[in-house]
A and B are shown apart, each in its own frame.
Chain A
Amino acid sequence: MDATGPLSSDGLVQLLTPEGDAVEDSTYSPYAAHLTPDDLRAFWRDMTVVRAFDKEATSLQRQGELGLWVQSWGQEAAQIGSGHALRGPDFVFPSYREHGVALTRDVDLVEVLRIFRGLQHGAWTPQDHGFHLYTLVIGAHALHATGYAMAMDFDGLVASGNPERDGAVVCYFGDGATAQGDVAEAMTYASVHNAPVVFFVQNNQFAISEPTSRQSRVPIADRGLGYGIPSVRVDGNDVIASHAVTRWALEHARSGAGPVLVEALTYRMGAHTTSDDPTRYRSKAQEAYWAERDPIARLEAHLIARGELSQEFRDQVTAEADALCERTRTTVRSWERPALATMFDDVYALPHATVDAERAWFERYEASFADATGGATVDAGAAR
């Protein structure tokens, strides 16, 4: 790890060392004090399950079942730890790698793959999960998150006097996104409106191939300070610290004290996507260094040292992960392409003459082939 610059370890909040030893932090330990062994095992289970799913999806892409896959490998602690700090009316605006957060929001991970099989652009109802659709235009959703947070404030869901009723927004993006104008504008809007939004940056050290030093000369968290936004750096491979810091940040935002920037320093252990080739821009030595800091292994070491991870529980989680992977394989392969004319659905909420005319033409055109082939339907084929 660099001594200075955007990857420095200065000020990193850590509650668990890479070896799994507990660390006290006077500010943030109290935000983890409520965690029982059951809670920690649940974190471990979620991290393990999402990693197995991630690996399965990667395989499905390699088998040609998905067009692309975006791995969350290595970032499980930052995602599961922060995701479990959410509750009630809280709302998440993810980027597109937040499968771990999706899991904590009760999104069926298998459904996420509809996007990557090219069936549709969104695969869950955001309002049902407090979890917005993935956004692929880097940083664009930081403004949506801020606007949503401002509206929560209008609706009296902040500093209501009843902490159970209060809510906030968490917006996830990466180190690369912090170079985007929309993220800068989001911080301006959030700070001047005192919006209840937590900007949660997973600094996974790469924007595809470009290192964080190409995005910033200083730690990403320092950016928040210029906007008057309290900013914290946390070890993003430490699930307990990621949880505690996010819990603190959400409490701050829900109380009406305004936005927070959390920088979780982590490492993208996989490629940017299945189309990427990290061997062209990073070293084996660096990958090995971070493999030793694997977020799941860290919590595992902690639980094992305390005798809190029984073989029975591990077997149970393995079975759960295997079942999810099996369901993933069979479900994905069973998906057929919807009727072609559904590509005209939901362009507008009310009729639009151009779309209606083109749809009508397309349906006639397709039907002309049905006639020519003696009535065979054009939609018989599956997507792939």
Chain B
Amino acid sequence: MTERLTMAGAINAGLRAAMERDDKVLLMGEDIGALGGVFRVTDGLHKDFGEHRVRDTPLAESGIVGTAIGMAMRGYRSVIEIQFDGFIFPAYNQITTQLAKMHYRSRGDITLPIVIRVPFAGGIGAVEHHSESVEALFAHTAGLRIVSPATPQDAFDLIQQSIACPDPVLFLEPKARYWDKGDVDTQRVAAQLDAPDGEAAATAEMASARIAREGAHVTLVAYGPTVRVALQAAEVAAADGTDVEVIDLRSISPLDSDAVVRSAKRTGRVVVVHEAPTAFGAGAELSARVTEQAFFHLHAPVLRVGGFHTPYPGNTFEHHYLPDIDRVLDAVDRVMRH
């Protein structure tokens, strides 16, 4: 069955499906109850599942994550909403020193199947601390998985797969894409999860990249909010005769670099585009891996397009801070000149 949904609507539908599938799934966060969250992603769930399962928490992010850890030790699967990317930092200690390491330090005795949903990245004209790209800060920590959907379909699938996954997952929702619409198959993931070893299949699938557009000349790698930018840039490049392949990573940890390396071996040119600052970012990691694994196939250095090493600027600057079609095309032109 296919439904036409926004990304926000797809996440909402995915949460609903997960809560119907497993009554140990709880939602926790600030203003997610009667209000439905500041982006209304949990709209209607409080009414339908009650305040026991859709829990408005005190305004204390460390507390949300920390109490979810204790609840997970009694079998509850919490899906946490951190209201905005910039407000995840009060919980940074709980996420990195506790949540990420508990399975390891308990030698597998304790699993913490907790999902932390974060409306992330910029482009909506917000005030400071509301447009941050936090993925690299967490990708450096072993024990966490990090995914980011770029389409309503992936949002619907990935949220359910993340909830089914026994490891903690940081689920980064590109807030500027909340209102993008797309056709969503609402049956496929349910069948995957209901099958034997559904959790493992779901976890493996959510760690895999997707080829969003096939091409022969340049591999353009993106995830979350920049996939749309990459696809638009590819269309423009095509008009100039450059055939761009777009890879939507979907997962930052683990990073499906194999998919990128395979593509790089065909195209010989790679450009990575993300909103996060390029310095020490996911693009740097990917660039290193491509260089290590496909060096003799490359015709040009791997280039990165992303935010600058400045605080996220006031929103009158943001469309110059964020990678746009022109900056992506500039990088495509530069790798093509080699």
Contact = CB atoms under 8 A, between A and B. Distances in A.
B73 A144 contact: yes
B203 interface: yes
Nearest to B165: A350
B109 A127 contact: yes
Interface in B76-118: 76, 90, 93-94, 97-98, 101, 103-111
Nearest to A356: B254
Contacts of A147: 66-73
Chain A at the B interface: mostly helix, strand, loop or mixed? helix
Nearest to A120: B107
Interface residues of B, number: 50
B42 to A, nearest CB: 19
Contact of B107 (A346, A348, A355): A346
Interface stretch (B14-22, B57-65, B218-226): B57-65
Interface in A149-199: 149-152, 154-155, 181-182, 185-186, 188-189, 192
B185 interface: no
Interface residues of A, number: 43
A148 B72 CA distance: 8
A143 interface: yes
B338 interface: no
Contacts of B207: 352-353
A145 interface: yes
Contact of A349 (B58, B68, B167, B253): B167
A121 to B, nearest CB: 4
Contacts of A145: 70
A122 interface: yes
Given A143-B94, A181-B62, A346 B104 contact: yes
Interface in B208-267: 253-258
A125 interface: yes
B319 interface: no
B66 A146 contact: yes
A353 B254 contact: yes
A357 to B, nearest CB: 9
A151 B72 CA distance: 8
B71 A346 contact: no
B98 A154 contact: no
B4 interface: no
Q: 3 smallest A-B Cβ distances: which pairs? A: A143-B66, A147-B70, A147-B67
Given A151-B73, A345-B104, 19 more contacts: A120-B107, A125-B106, A135-B98, A137-B93, A137-B98, A143-B63, A143-B94, A144-B67, A146-B63, A147-B73, A151-B71, A151-B74, A154-B71, A185-B66, A186-B66, A188-B58, A189-B58, A349-B166, A353-B257
28 contacts: A120-B107, A121-B104, A122-B106, A125-B109, A133-B105, A137-B93, A137-B97, A140-B93, A143-B67, A147-B70, A148-B74, A150-B67, A154-B74, A182-B66, A185-B62, A189-B58, A189-B60, A346-B107, A347-B104, A348-B167, A349-B166, A349-B167, A350-B165, A350-B166, A351-B203, A351-B204, A353-B254, A353-B257
Interface of B: 52, 57-58, 60, 62-63, 65-76, 90, 93-94, 97-98, 101, 103-111, 142-143, 145, 165-167, 199-200, 203-204, 207, 253-258
